[in-house]
Chain A
């Protein structure tokens, strides 16, 4: 890989060992060498407990690699401090299950990052929040608390919260987990629009990394794939049905769950 590519990479991991949030001494993925370039859409697939969430959190600078290096927008994540806040805010993160703030309503959840980072009052932030809620079809739930929302809408509200600050890199941990078919389709379509350049971002394409334990919904030529299996991170590249069919880990991730009703 040329030095030029290294500089233009949005996320760059070199021999990175990924540890877990719960126990920083435990390594779940070894020797990750990965480069994500601006405008790409990556899908990182792996079974449960394979380290997908930890890999994404490391890529967002929320966890440090226990070995090797991780750069986000050219900035080493181990130096991510208060001074690098502007760099950190270029990254949006959507946790599995949403992790919305339970004491706040949907509108307050979405407004919080913007109000905090830009020191805005509720009234000052309301226009943009209402606009985003409308784009995400969340307006009817604006005053609901997360406890009163179904998983489908909670996940969507979490995405809205991550998008309010208009990040350049969006990381989504299991975004399709627990979603109904209609919401799954909506989200996949919405993510594609974000990658191509959504009006919310003024037409600017977004770099997206999503994790999954079920590859069936993600099969698409526009996306790049990587797989986590037995502590190993493998870059597969663009979707290639024949080539991917040879990979045992991918085969498992494409398999119908036992007892699934078609």
Chain B
């Protein structure tokens, strides 16, 4: 394989290590695991940088082919998930927000409502839950589609036609997922806050809608908006990178696709948690 894709996978040729004999001692096994983890990080990092480079360098290339592909991916990772997110927003509102509002009202701590909601829903649960759901629904499909395409030789076919597989296959997925997760998080947060109040209202909590939303609005500052946008875009970008990397990097045989899908989802969850941890530090510092 030549070109951009080849460069990324040359940097982390994991196959050699994965198929090597299992070491006998526990320390050697641990060392091998650590080494594999480092190689995966290196491969993912290289793949992410190459993808970023392609996004910037080939921004206007083949617009008439790429624009419909990007629209399709936004639809797949965003618009088509709206009904599911409507349901999740209702559930989140009923299960978390409504109970929190009710509990705070019982102890007379409704003054803390705004900041609690902002921390729990806006900063943490909204983005992370959205990322997990999109990873499960779209990320898995990414690995399977790309893994199958790779196993069937479609990636080589693209290269033979002078089409950069990273540009054609990865870039639309990265853009679609970054924008999709960003938009879905906003809808999820708004839906959860609204349905949460509805649940609290049904429990006769003495709080007017005006007071409720005013408290939340006052607890929010510009940094919340900026970091929310950054965080959700980062979730989308890295979920797409992890799932596309595993879809294209490893499987050359169809029977490998399911195994690689499991690995990609696991690593996707780890990456999301790590990004979340970085943003917690950012929130604490600023």
Whole-angstrom distance between the alpha carbons of A89 and B162 in the complex?
6
Inter-chain contacts of A88 with B (CB < 8 A): 162
Contact indicator A99/B154 (Cβ below 8 Å): yes
Q: Which of A21, A22, A103, A115 contacts B62 (CB 8 A)?
A: A115
Which listed residue, B149, B153, B160, touches A60 by the CB 8 Å rule?
A: B160
In the bound complex, residues from chain A placing their C-beta under 8 Å from that of B156 are: 21, 57, 62, 95, 99
Q: Cβ of A239: which chain B residues have Cβ within 8 Å of it?
A: none
- Asked whether A120 is an interface residue with its Cβ less than 8 Å from the other chain, the reply is yes
Tell me the minimal C-beta distance from B8 to chain A in angstroms: 15
Contact B154 A102 (CB under 8 A): yes
Interface residue count for A (Cβ, 8 Å)?
34
Cα A64 to Cα B160 in complex, Å, equals 13
A80 to B2, CA, bound (A): 9
In the complex, which residues of chain A have a beta carbon less than 8 angstroms from the beta carbon of B149?
A: 101-102
- A177 interface residue, CB < 8 Å from B? no
B211 CB, nearest partner CB in chain A, Å: 52
Q: B65 touching A93 by the CB < 8 A rule?
A: no
* Dominant secondary structure of chain A at its interface with chain B: loop
Chain B contacts with A in 53-75, Cβ cutoff 8 A: 61-65
Interface string of B1-13 (1 = CB under 8 A from A): 1110000000000
B160 and A62 form a contact (CB under 8 A): yes
Contacting residues of chain A (160-175) with chain B, CB-CB under 8 angstroms: 161-162, 165
- Specify the main secondary structure of chain B where it touches its partner: helix
Closest to A164 in B: B161
- Least Cβ–Cβ distance between B63 and chain A, in angstroms: 6
- The reply to whether the CB of B157 lies closer than 8 angstroms to some CB of chain A is yes
Assembled-state Cα–Cα distance A93/B159 (Å):
10
Quick one: which of A60, A85, A99 has the most chain B CB within 10 A? A99
Q: Does A121 contact B (CB under 8 A)?
A: yes
Closest to B157 in A: A99
How many whole Å from B70's CB to the nearest CB in chain A?
14
Q: Are B162 and A113 in contact (CB under 8 A)?
A: yes
Question: Does residue A112 face the partner (Cβ distance < 8 Å to B)?
Answer: yes
Q: A117 at interface (Cβ–Cβ under 8 A)? A: yes
Residues of A within 8 A of B186 (CB): none
Q: Say whether A119 contacts B163, CB under 8 Å.
A: no
A112 and B145 alpha carbons, distance in the complex (Å): 18
| Given A22-B252, A113-B161, A116-B65: A61 and B154 interface contact (C-beta under 8 Å) | no
- Does the CB pair B62–A119 fall under 8 Å? yes
Least distance between A103 CB and chain B CB atoms (Å): 8
Taking CB atoms, residues of chain A closer than 8 Å to B159 are 62
Of B1, B61, B145, B153, the contact of A95 (CB 8 Å cutoff)? B153
Which residues, 144 to 173 on B, are CB-close (under 8 Å) to A?
145, 148-149, 152-154, 156-157, 159-164, 168
A63 within 8 A of B: yes
Give the distance in Å from the alpha carbon of A120 to the alpha carbon of B62 in the complex: 8
A78 and chain B: residue at smallest CB distance: B2
Chain A residue nearest in CB terms to B15: A23
> Closest approach, in angstroms, between the C-beta of B126 and any C-beta of chain A?
33
**A residues whose Cβ falls under 8 Å from a Cβ of B:** 21-22, 57, 60-64, 80-82, 85, 88-89, 93, 95, 97, 99-103, 112-113, 115-117, 119-121, 124, 161-162, 165
Would you list the 7 A-B pairs with minimal beta carbon distance, nearest first? A93-B160, A113-B161, A99-B157, A99-B153, A116-B62, A121-B64, A116-B65
